[in-house]
């Protein structure tokens, strides 16, 4: 097994899931010791609402590189790396521990040569749980001046991502009067009202038959009675809404649009939200990374968009250009999450060449 895969095995063995703050901190300890200690730069350790982070501050950064070390839960076997047919499998190999490693390995090599890249580094541990570490650190001034931010936290696209949808998780709530299901005339059942509300939302935003850059609205969680023969006094459905910046510029605009669609007897509650992200594809660093990636991979890397959301939104919402480009992989959050070993190796080389150009 190569040194890269050896490191990846160690990395994914840290079960950095949920609110396990001790494991998240231990994982960052390993990263600090293994990859960052030779930089000689000021290193800041802290946490935001219990989620640990590491920030390596360069005095004159040409960019901020950022990534996250937390992952979604997985089966026990997913925390042991396996590889076959040019792919590595395990929880976080693509999202995004493998992607993190491609930067960290090249960064340590440069530091060990005494050529510390002009890059500040931020590693967080709450991206998968909807945390706000980058936003809080930006607002506190901890990260200093950032000319541009870059992360390899892409989905299953092989493109350089300069645009991502905004996200809004909304709870649709219908209220009624509880009672025995055998005598429904004595109660006010909120379930039919909830069904009407969800149907109205889906009529406005029907499920697309394929790839779609418009608004998607997906019911995900249902809650109602605590017994099969009891009419509840409240029923709810959580919906996942994704919207491009061409439709709504903010989650607030999207929420106002949804409120106009639900019938009387229902209310909407915001559970969580994320701003859409947009970066000018002609930004100099976007073009520079594309040129390096084209040279390393021997192909023309497209510049495109992604359906998901990432911490890049915290930067663009504050007027800081941010974009994404990561290794090839698939089945993110799934039972067969994988990453291309060749692509990991290419991204290490991309980072090596980028550091030389930035220096």
Mean pLDDT of 164-192: 96
Q: What pLDDT is recorded for position 1?
A: 54
CA distance 353 to 296: 9
- CA angle (258 as vertex; 253, 263 as ends), nearest 5: 150
Give the pLDDT confidence of 114-150 residue by residue, as tens digits: 999 999 999 999 999 888 899 999 999 999 999 999 9
The overall average pLDDT reported for the chain is 95
Sign of CA dihedral 215, 332, 252, 18: positive
Q: What pLDDT is recorded for position 320?
A: 97
pTM, two decimals, is 0.88
Neighbours of 187 (CB within 10 A): 17
Give the pLDDT confidence of 219-256 residue by residue, as tens digits: 999 999 999 999 999 999 999 999 998 899 999 999 99
210 confidence band (pLDDT: 50, 70, 90): confident
Helices 284-297 and 341-358, interaxial angle, to 10°? 130
Residue 309 has pLDDT above 90, yes or no: no
Contact between 50 and 309 (Cβ < 8 Å): no
Q: What pLDDT is recorded for position 39?
A: 97
CA distance 214 to 166: 11
Give the pLDDT confidence of 249-287 residue by residue, as tens digits: 999 999 999 999 999 989 999 999 999 999 999 999 999
Domain architecture of the chain: domains with CATH: 3-164+277-358 (3.40.630.10), 166-274 (3.30.70.360)
């Amino acid at each position: 097994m190569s040194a890269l895969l050896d490191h990846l095995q160690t990395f994914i063995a840290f079960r950095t899931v949920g609110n396990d703050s001790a494991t998240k901190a231990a994982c960052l300890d390993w990263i600090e010791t293994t990859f960052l200690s030779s930089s000689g730069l000021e290193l800041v350790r802290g946490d935001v609402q219990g989620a640990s982070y590491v920030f390596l501050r360069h005095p004159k950064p040409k960019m901020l590189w950022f990534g996250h070390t937390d992952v979604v839960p997985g089966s026990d076997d997913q925390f042991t790396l396996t590889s076959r047919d040019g792919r590595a499998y395990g929880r976080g190999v693509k999202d995004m521990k493998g992607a993190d490693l491609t930067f960290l390995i090249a960064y340590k090599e440069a530091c060990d040569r005494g050529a510390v890249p002009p890059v500040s580094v931020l590693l967080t541990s709450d991206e998968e749980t909807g945390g706000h570490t980058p936003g809080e650190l930006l607002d506190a001034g901890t990260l200093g001046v950032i000319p541009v931010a870059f992360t390899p936290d892409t989905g299953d696209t092989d493109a350089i991502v300069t645009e991502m949808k905004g996200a809004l998780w909304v709870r649709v709530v219908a209220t009624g009067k509880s009672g025995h299901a055998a005598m429904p005339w004595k109660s006010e059942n909120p379930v039919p009202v909830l069904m009407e509300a969800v149907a109205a939302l889906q009529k406005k935003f029907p499920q697309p038959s394929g790839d779609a850059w418009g608004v998607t609205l997906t019911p995900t969680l249902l809650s109602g009675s605590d017994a099969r023969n009891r009419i509840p006094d409240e029923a709810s459905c959580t919906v996942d809404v994704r919207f491009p910046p061409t439709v709504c510029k903010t989650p607030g605009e999207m929420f106002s649009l949804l409120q106009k669609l639900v019938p009387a007897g229902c209310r909407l509650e915001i559970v969580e939200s994320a701003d859409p992200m947009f970066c000018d594809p002609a930004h100099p660093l976007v073009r520079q990374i594309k040129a390096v990636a084209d040279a390393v991979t021997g192909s023309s890397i497209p510049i495109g968009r992604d359906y998901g959301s990432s911490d890049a939104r915290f930067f663009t919402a504050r007027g800081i250009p941010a974009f994404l480009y990561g290794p090839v992989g698939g089945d993110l959050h799934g039972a067969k999450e994988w990453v291309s070993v060749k692509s990991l190796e290419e991204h290490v080389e991309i980072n090596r060449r980028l550091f030389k150009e930035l220096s």
